[in-house]
A and B are shown apart, each in its own frame.
Chain A
Amino acid sequence: MDTLFAPPGLRWQAVSPRLRDLRRTLLAIWLGLGGLAGILVAGIMVSWWLAGLVLVAVAALFCWGWWLIGRNWQSWGYAERADDLLVTHGVLFKTLVVVPYGRMQYVDVTAGPLERKFGIAKVQLHTATPATDAEIPGLPPEEAERLRDRLAALGEARAAGL
């Protein structure tokens, strides 16, 4: 592990594995639908051996996507320190953002229908600049709420003018 993206303490707080499951399910659904259409078109319009080729390609794509999602999920991490929140993510393009609590303008907790089904929510911190992309997807709802309340309380306590 390089020190550049090392956790401030012992380890990063991980996000819920259900985020990975959700993304893999979505991958399966889209690739399944697309692949089925591709196989049928290839099979009916051209020949069934081409359909077999498409099937292999889709399967390969699925495995690759499965692996990518796993890697990306592992890369997510956050840590709460006394004065700031750290969020890191990314495999190829890595990012680490340090947001002081006092700079926080508002916190969003969002959960779409699928995310609710999987029991996860996204927490997003906003500062006065759109460049600060401090979002943590895939938190269990209790954790998301706890984090939101804590961030709001700390933000108020350490609030600074713009």
Chain B
Amino acid sequence: MSVPAVNDENGSADPTQPVPTVESSGETLRRLHPATPILNGWKYFALAIAVVGQDSLRELDFVLFGVQLGVALVLGLVLGLFSWWFTKYRIEGRGETAELRIESGFLFRRSRRIRIDRLQAVDIVRPVLARLLGLAELRLEVAGGGKTEAPLAYLSERDAHRLRAELLARAAGLAADTPEAPERQLVSVTPGMLLAATILGAPFLTAALGFVVVASVSVVLGEIVGVAFLVPWALGGLGVVWRQFVSEFGFTVSESPDGLRIRKGMLDTWAQTVPPGRVQGVEIEQQLFWRPKQWVKLSVDVAGYAAKDGDQVRTSSTLLPVAPWPVARALLQRVLPDVDVDSVVRTRAPRSARWLRPIGWRYLRHGADDRVFVTDAGWLTRRTAVVPHAKMQSVRIKQGPLQRRLGLANVHVDTPAGPVNAVAVHRSSDEARQIAEEQAERSRRARQLAGPERWMSQPPRRPPQADGPQPAGN
């Protein structure tokens, strides 16, 4: 798949460039879409109702309530207007030093510059209301920091797509006006399968089981008390299914030279782009009742997605909500080229681990080949963590007092925060140090062969195929 690339990043800007880029469309900083204050003002409005509106509603003073609503609405709009007026962005610099500059805030001014070649992912998020107005939020994810570092909310959809294309082109090391790369769909998840997987998954099943138990107990006892629990319980259980179904509805994964494109969502829609080489690790999860159909879920560690709060991490880290293993395996080979998880030879934890995990110890395994480190754990829900050697951040050995008695130790292979948790649990302590040392050595070699950060700037070097004897596994 070739990109119609103008490989001319070092300027000599051709004045006849046909496609206007964000940079060339004037030296001035650009503002967000003018409808932004209305969308943002709405949030202040809702907050005001929640905070001040309660009192007057409780006393049934509708006039006061109306006045408060009006004041909140005007204040919200004015605040939104101010924040919109003072928020501006621009792409500055060229080549490796290109930065996205974002100015914001009117009381506390903030000027932020983000190195474009450091971007980890670019998402276009369209909440329902924004969709109605034809707007979108662009999120530039970089490693570090507590939340999405550069949310540009809201842009018109056209601007959002153009900016994304430009950011990705620059990050890849191509000319800024490279058109959006073509994409090819790899996997799509049907609504029926998504629903089935959600219903067969542990969160819903535990809720359902609890419901049945409480319901039968209250029927047997003939008590009406149970109803007070049952209704919220049932609603909660359905809520889990509903949320997951709506947020992962129409899930498709496509491949383009810019990386993976993930699209999903029924009401709020997401379009995520994760450039090549940004995936730090993969988790393969199999729920108990998914086993007959060999269904698995894939989650990834991407540095920018990690640090955000709870729910959102899980949704943005999902690479594939559910698919049969052969499909997931094919996708995995796209994400981590030349990796075949099934062929990695694994060793089981020693027998003495049964004192700490009476059942689960049989399922504790780890293994490594010349590309990835793999761990398995879990006897009901099975989880396999896959970490490429080149992406490992550090290795840790941990040993508690009980483990020392039994001659065991844990080996952690650290990746940036996220769902992937590669821990070789309860290895024999003679072996643990060796695992850690070998892992450090393997990652050192892998880092030397790693591809360029700007993935199009030079032909990706194919690391030489395993020289010497094939790895026999451990």
Contacts and interface: CB of A to CB of B under 8 A. Distances in A.
B433 A6 contact: yes
A162 to B, nearest CB: 6
A2 B417 contact: no
Given A100-B443, A102-B447, A162 B397 contact: no
B395 interface: yes
B416 interface: yes
B394 A3 contact: no
A92 interface: yes
Contact of B396 (A3, A98, A130): A98
A96 B396 contact: yes
Contacts of A113: none
Contact of A129 (B277, B415, B452): B415
Interface string A73-111: 000000000011000000011111111101101000000
Interface stretch (B122-130, B148-156, B308-316, B398-406): B398-406
On chain A, which size bracket covers the interface?
20 to 34
Interface in A129-162: 129-134, 158, 160-162
B120 A98 contact: no
A95 B397 contact: yes
Given A130-B417, A132-B414, A162-B303, A2 B429 contact: yes
Contact of B414 (A4, A95, A96, A129): A129
Q: Which of A5, A94, A158, A161 has the most CB of B within 10 A?
A: A161
A124 interface: no
Q: Which of A3, A5, A105, A131 has the most CB of B within 10 A?
A: A131
A4 B409 contact: yes
A127 interface: yes
Given A100-B447, A127-B414, A128-B144, 18 more contacts: A4-B433, A6-B433, A84-B440, A95-B396, A96-B397, A98-B394, A98-B440, A103-B393, A103-B394, A129-B414, A129-B417, A130-B417, A131-B414, A132-B394, A134-B394, A162-B118, A162-B303, A162-B416
A155 B447 CA distance: 13
A100 B444 contact: yes
B396 A97 contact: yes
B141 to A, nearest CB: 12
A6 B437 CA distance: 12
Contacts of B452: 161
Contacts of A4: 397, 399, 409, 429-430, 432-433
Nearest to B415: A129
Contacts of B416: 128-129, 162
A29 B395 CA distance: 38
Q: Which of A96, A97, A100, A128 has the most CB of B within 10 A?
A: A128
Contacts of A130: 417
A93 B390 CA distance: 29
Contact of B143 (A97, A128, A132): A128
Interface in B111-162: 118, 120, 143-144
Contacts of A95: 396-399
A134 B394 CA distance: 9
